[in-house]
């Protein structure tokens, strides 16, 4: 099933018109015709079934037939992740995290970060493509890139690092914790100053096992563990 992402849809209206890019995809790639059904989501918990009423490469329109409201997930994991030097690896994380059901992603700048900038709009497009592919009803929130020490620390917050200081197992800490935030550092790990800052903020230090993982692997493993322990 093909799902379209329509964040601007007015659910009180009977009709919706697609932008030209989506209209081309509907006509040239999917080769849809008048009367065919399309499936859409606004990324805010609504799954919409609609029927094509106008088919044109520049403007396809549909009539809304059914709107199904999906309950919000009970588990909300906020990932703070340092973008990787190779941006492809960070973008891979964005895609896979969306498929798994991440709630929010905040890219962070750390002392040892080699990448200082990301293309926010491109990152959002990757997230939205993954949302459509995975047929999810809720789009993750992507926050702007910000320095680590400027993040808001709320509720259970965890920092995964490779320092020799004492750490707890992630799976033990997140068990039955439906809402939490997880911090994952850059390729060179968090600095000792950042680890000390986290400790002063009552952020819990955790480990993901005995293997050394890449940033994007660690982030995805941490997310999956947190989601799995709360199913």
- Domain holding 222, by residue range, is 76-229
Q: Quick one: 160 and 61 in the same domain?
A: no
Task: Identify the domain boundary among 22, 44, 69.
Answer: 69
Q: Domain boundary residue among 69, 91, 109? A: 69
Number of domains, the chain: 2
Same domain, 179 and 86: yes
Same domain? For 105 and 48 the reply is no
Q: What is the pLDDT of residue 143?
A: 98
Q: Are residues 65 and 81 in the same domain?
A: no
The answer to whether residues 94 and 198 belong to one domain is yes
* Whether 57 and 108 share a structural domain: no
Give the mean pLDDT per block of 10 residues along the chain (231 residues). Answer: 93 95 94 96 97 96 97 95 98 98 98 96 98 96 97 94 92 85 96 96 94 95 93 79
Do both 199 and 86 map to the same domain? yes
Answer yes or no: do 17 and 101 share one domain. no
* pLDDT tens per residue across span 30-87: 999 999 999 999 999 999 999 999 999 999 999 999 999 999 999 999 999 999 999 9
CB 57 within 8 A of CB 29: no
Query: How far, CA to CA in Å, does 46 sit from each of 2, 4, 98, 144, 174?
Result: 15, 12, 17, 25, 29
Please give the pLDDT value at position 176: 72
Name the H helices within the chain: 20-24, 87-100, 120-134, 170-174, 192-200, 215-228
Q: Which of 39, 69, 99 is the last residue of a domain?
A: 69
């Amino acid at each position: 099933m093909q799902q379209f992402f329509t964040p601007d849809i007015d659910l009180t209206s009977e009709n919706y018109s697609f932008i030209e890019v989506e209209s081309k995809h509907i006509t040239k790639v999917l080769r849809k015709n008048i009367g065919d059904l399309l499936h859409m989501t606004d990324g805010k918990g609504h799954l919409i079934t609609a029927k094509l009423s106008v088919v044109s490469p520049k403007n396809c329109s549909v009539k809304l037939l059914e709107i199904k409201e999906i309950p919000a997930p009970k588990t909300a994991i906020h990932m703070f992740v340092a973008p990787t030097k190779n941006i492809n690896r960070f973008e891979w994380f964005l895609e896979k995290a969306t498929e798994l059901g991440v709630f929010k992603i905040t890219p962070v700048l750390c002392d040892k970060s080699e990448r200082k900038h990301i293309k926010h709009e491109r990152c959002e497009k990757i997230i939205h493509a993954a949302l459509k592919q995975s047929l999810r009803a809720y789009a993750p929130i992507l926050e702007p890139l910000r320095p680590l020490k400027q993040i808001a620390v709320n509720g259970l917050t965890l920092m995964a690092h490779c320092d020799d200081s004492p750490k707890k197992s992630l799976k033990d800490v997140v068990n039955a914790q439906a809402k939490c935030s997880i911090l994952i550092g850059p390729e060179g790990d968090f600095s000792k100053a950042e680890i000390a800052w986290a400790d002063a903020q009552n952020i819990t230090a955790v480990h993901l096992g005995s293997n050394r993982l890449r940033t994007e692997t660690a982030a995805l493993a941490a997310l999956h563990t947190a989601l799995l322990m709360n199913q």
